[in-house]
Amino acid sequence: MGLSNMLEANPGVDVYLPKAGSKMIIPQQLILPDAPREGIVINSAEMRLYYYPKGSKTVVVLPIGIGELGKDTPINWTTAVERKKDGPTWTPTKGMHADYAARGETLPAVFPPGPDNPMGLYALYIGRLYAIHGTNANFGIGLRVSHGCVRLRADDIKWLYQNVPVGTRVQFVDQPVKATVEPDGSRYVEVHNPLSTTEEQFNSRELVPITLNQAVSKVLVDASVNQDQVNGAIQGRTGMPVKVNGVENNIQTAPVPMPENPQAVPQEEPMTPVTSPGRKQ
């Protein structure tokens, strides 16, 4: 998972530098986005990429970094992987040069392939202006840090490069709220804080307003649903599935204790792709 997922699940805890002995919740269950289960689905609101391998009933879920405010990653866009590149070069735009110059920094005209390239070692090009690529700074995964492209950790983009064919469908969505009905009738809702759309929202401590779409409303309108639980999930925005009918929430949220090691240095490790069947992972 990325930093945004950890931040949502652990309000009030420093997930960047957790103190030894502190307890943290690792969010490992989720609801699939409301989108065709085909190819790649990128949900910017939760900063996750979903890949549905053709001919398989599994899904690979990977954390991503997305575009900064004002340099947003696309939403409501369907495209395809046009080409792949092992060892991409990066040519900054005039606007990027201007942004860096305003901070007293300079960029080279072209970044050659290699570990210092901001695009990392692999890239999947989607459309004329965007790519799914690696990074030379893993700490930004799960944050709004790019100029609009989708960033992944080194191991994750390598796996996608090796397994995703050219021509694969790619769909961008923006779904901060997801909901599902399980085979046993259980209804779950998963709420993320929506992406800020203005500087005022970005800098405010107030919650970004949430509007439930038709698919989510259809799940939550059932008579069995406890609306107090729904409202609690919307206010809490933990980014984890919450059961909203019945008397129990069987999602495991027991905190995981951090090791008591005063010499430990927190590090962000690459995520190995995980495949899981079903609707609610």
59: Cβ contacts below 8 Å, ≥ 6 apart: 32, 37, 50, 51, 52, 275, 276, 277, 281
149 in active site: yes
Tell me the CA end-to-end span of the chain in Å, nearest whole number.
13
User: Which residue in the list 97, 147, 149, 192 is annotated as catalytic?
Assistant: 149
25: Cβ contacts below 8 Å, ≥ 6 apart: 9, 10, 240, 253, 254, 255, 256
192 in active site: no
d(CA 25, CA 105): 39
Q: Which of 277, 198, 193 is nearest to 240 (CA)?
A: 193
User: Which residue in the list 97, 133, 147, 192 is annotated as catalytic?
Assistant: 133
In DSSP terms, 180 is beta-bridged to 188
Catalytic machinery residues: 133, 149
